[in-house]
Structure 1
Amino acid sequence: MSEKMPQATMTLKQFMLRQQVLKLYRSFLRAIRDVPDEESRKELLEWARSDFKNNKHHTDEYAIKMLISHGERQLKQLQQNVAFSR
């Protein structure tokens, strides 16, 4: 019988950062859902997925916080652009 190796437990800070990242990702998906043009929606969805996937290897707390703040600025800009396009 093979047993799985237990995963390393996250610290509270790591857990909280992970929750912030997930919240930001969900916010991007909600904002992208409001984009009127279907082709643009697909491109934005692909961009968001690849951007989050390309940065998932980061473990440094400072780097993750900087990526989160950069993502929040991009999200705000996306939301403003979507609001103007209506």
Structure 2
Amino acid sequence: MMMKNPKPILSLQQFILKQEVKNLYRQIFRTIKEVPDKNYQEELKQWARTDFRANSNHTDETVIKMYIQYGKRCLRELENNVGLAKAK
């Protein structure tokens, strides 16, 4: 029996980048759960999903690394804001 669309075999670097993206996604969602306002939580979840989906088609490793850095900056900013909200 033949598979319809076999997944392409990833190079080690591509595999590592994919894992990094998945970990970043999980970290962002864990941080979003800490946001006190439920409406804002939903808004942030939508933003994250939309952003990740919009950029899921990239295959250039340099572009992917750039988006990972952007995501990490957004995560740090989110963590800082959650920390400030909790401190109030």
Mapped pair 1:63 → 2:63:
yes
What is the match of residue 22 of structure 1? 22
TM-score by length of 1: 0.95
Q: CA deviation at 1:7?
A: 2.2
- In structure 1, what residue type is equivalent to 2:48? A
Q: After TM superposition, which residue ranges in structure 1, 4 or more long, deviate above 3 angstroms?
A: none
| 2:77 partner amino acid | Q
Supply the distance in 2 between the matched residues of 1:7 and 1:44 (Cα, whole angstroms). 31
> Which stretches in structure 2 are left out of the alignment for 5+ residues?
none
Equivalent position amino acid for 1:3 in 2: M
RMSD: 0.9
Output the CA distance in 2 between the equivalents of 1:56 and 1:73: 18
The offset of 1:3, in angstroms, is 1.6
Q: Which residue of 1 aligns with 2:3?
A: 4
TM-score (norm: length of structure 2): 0.93
* Residues matched between the structures, number: 85
Gaps (5+ residues) in structure 1?
Answer: none
Aligned counterparts of 1:76 and 1:8: Cα–Cα separation in 2: 33
Shift of residue 8 of structure 1? 1.5
Q: Which amino acid aligns with 2:26?
A: R
Identity across aligned pairs (percent)? 44
Counterpart Cα distance in 2 of 1:55 and 1:68? 10
